[in-house]
Amino acid sequence: MTDIKCLDSSAWLAYHFATSTEIKEIIDKEGLIITSSLCLFEIKKKLLMVKQDWREFLKFIKERSGIIVPEIEITENAAQIAVDKKLGAMDALIYATAQIKNAELITGDNDFRGLEKVRIIS
């Protein structure tokens, strides 16, 4: 596959809640990780909903990965991906981020199943 890993919010949350040894190995191993800034929204929202402090975990994510802000190329590609792959807006933007950055998308979200350069973690 590729050396760059793009982690979505489900992957980061699996790490935070220790529900996947596979994601722990990916994050703890040296290597280039990127994360869409949109995932920070999803992660913070989830932690607020379960009444957990989000500050340290978001700080860790920002230190461990490069944060990618959706730029024009990402947003325009995401629109086509959303139509072609029948993805919601947020998922299409995250997938477009991985595609444009030539990264493997690591996710626990089955909405991405069957898409190119995606690894579904257990």
Question: Hey, where are the domains in the chain?
Answer: 5-120
Q: How far apart are CA 84 and CA 29, in angstroms?
A: 34
Exposed, middle or buried, 24 (CB in 10 Å: 0-12/13-18/19+)?
Answer: middle
pLDDT of amino acid 30:
82
**Cα–Cα nearest to 94, from 117, 121, 122, 62:** 117
What are the respective helix, strand and coil percentages of the chain, to the nearest 5? Answer: 55, 15, 30
pLDDT digits (tens, 9 = 90+) for 7-57: 999 999 999 999 999 999 999 998 999 999 999 999 999 999 999 999 999
For 5-120, the fitting CATH number among 3.30.420.40, 3.90.79.10, 3.40.50.1010, 3.40.50.10420 is 3.40.50.1010
Exposed, middle or buried, 46 (CB in 10 Å: 0-12/13-18/19+)?
Answer: middle
pLDDT digits (tens, 9 = 90+) for 53-107: 999 999 999 999 999 999 999 999 999 999 999 999 999 999 999 999 999 999 9
Q: How many residues does the chain have?
A: 122
